[in-house]
Copies of this chain bind each other. A is one copy, B any other.
Amino acid sequence: MDRWPHVVIIGGGFGGLNAARALARAPVRITLLDRRNHHLFQPLLYQVATAALNPSDIAYPIRSALAHQRNARVLLAEARSIDVATRTVTLDGGELQYDYLILATGATHSYFGKDQWAKLAPGLKSVEDAIEIRRRIFIAYEAAERESDPRAQEEYLTFAVVGGGPTGVELAGAMGEIGLQTLAKDFRSIDPTRVRVVLFEGADRVLRSYPEKISVAAKRALEKRHVEVRVNTLVTGVDDRGVTVKSPSGESRLGTRTVVWAAGVQASPLGASLGAPRDRSGRILVEADCSIPDHPEVFVIGDLAKVEIDGVEVPGVAQGAIQEGKHVAKIIAREARGDRGKRPAFRYHDKGNMAVLGRADAVLATKHVAKAGFIAWLAWAFVHIAYLISYRSRLLVMIQWAWSFTTFKRGARLITGEVGALPPVTTISASGEAKLPAAALPLELTEPEREAPRASSS
């Protein structure tokens, strides 16, 4: 071959981006394509959804990440299908031919066939998802402030999270803290510390991938943050006023205006066009080297791949994708230099898992250690800062965490997009008396007779 082989990488997540970078010194030409212009540090996405961080703190232009890697180019494009026979990727416009293909388009949550729930209960995969969830959370408090019916108010102050994995647990903990800490003093008609978050999990404990004692610690930590943990519970219905759930004790209903979905795994549909064997959730069953059967030039990595080593599955976490990306890059680099020896099998180095339950509170589990509390949180903060892709993000995120930590505030409490319909405002007459229902106390706070104590307390 008198030209360098062309490596097409689809997806600029942890797997794809790390594969591209690991090929920096290899004699290959790389085209990395993604339908987004940014790499997303997904482990911190829940912090955007809960207003602790800005989107751009955890998103970095893929183009910048590879700007100085001269054998790589980046395309903003969506891959529509792959023809492994002709080695062609069809895009939203045009097509690409490859010598090697690395497919790393990931997975999303699954509504288990009830896709109509997606609008009612958004999941958390993209920046747009996070902004939408943030919008819904903060709009709910605004709506509660306007609502005069106490029962309807309660619905607004009740939040449901479906799925007790790391994302669900982290979201639920942060959502509890928003009411208890962030907004505690900001409202006049409602008491945000009356917040109630209900976390539904189908299995018998949250954080199933962790040791059992961690699940117990997590449950306790969540309950301190007004999160009710309901295990062995399946969501059977979602509508705009609440969710219906089924547990061993029967069917019941929770009235809520805000449902967030963090359950299930559904692989990127692009995998189907490979014609390789897939599991029920659509993940590709790859060979030991992460290639697909009969096509050693096609690799699948990250959440889209089901990689089993000695019967143990590599978990769908950033570390797995990163290590797989580096592994296939090494194989391609070797072969591009002319070495056609037997490919090494992928080996996963489990660096452990972490999840945050709230301010200064996390859980951590490695093969040897299982910890909950402040120490685990420190470890978590350290690791996540270290992995953030750019120096700038590291610094900004650290400052925002320090600020949130000391002030209990959240800096990114921005409602953007449509506000939508809110409850009618209780009519407030100029005299301040007539039409106020009992529940609305705003003007009571400021009556002249209370002036004296207020002045002395300030």
User: Would you call B70 and A6 a contact (CB within 8 A)?
Assistant: no
User: Would you call A399 and B396 a contact (CB within 8 A)?
Assistant: yes
CB contact under 8 A between A64 and B419, given known A93-B425, A399-B395:
no
Q: Verify if A248 is at the interface (C-beta below 8 Å from B).
A: no
Q: Verify if A21 is at the interface (C-beta below 8 Å from B).
A: no
Query: For the complex formed by this chain, how many copies does it contain in all?
Result: 2
User: Nearest residue in B to A189 (C-beta to C-beta)?
Assistant: B73
- Which A413-450 residues have a C-beta within 8 angstroms of B? 413-417, 419, 421-433, 442-443, 445-448
A188 to B75, CA, bound (A): 10
List chain B residues, Cβ under 8 A from A378: none
A64 to B431, CA, bound (A): 27
User: Would you call B409 and A64 a contact (CB within 8 A)?
Assistant: yes
Nearest CB on B from A71, distance (A): 4
A145 to B75, CA, bound (A): 8
Q: Verify if A87 is at the interface (C-beta below 8 Å from B).
A: yes
A57 to B446, CA, bound (A): 32
Contact flags A57-74 to B (C-beta < 8 A → 1, else 0): 101010110011011011
A430 to B100, CA, bound (A): 9
A61 to B416, CA, bound (A): 12
Contact flags A121-141 to B (C-beta < 8 A → 1, else 0): 000000110010000001100
User: Would you call B145 and A448 a contact (CB within 8 A)?
Assistant: no
- Known A-B contacts: A61-B186, A93-B423, A97-B427. Give 13 more (CB < 8 A): A4-B446, A6-B432, A29-B446, A38-B413, A63-B183, A68-B185, A71-B445, A75-B425, A92-B421, A94-B146, A96-B427, A97-B430, A399-B399
28 CB contacts below 8 A, A to B, read A2-B448, A3-B431, A6-B443, A36-B419, A37-B414, A38-B413, A38-B414, A56-B411, A56-B414, A61-B186, A70-B445, A71-B445, A71-B446, A73-B189, A73-B443, A77-B422, A91-B424, A92-B421, A93-B146, A94-B146, A94-B425, A94-B427, A95-B427, A127-B414, A392-B409, A392-B411, A396-B396, A399-B399
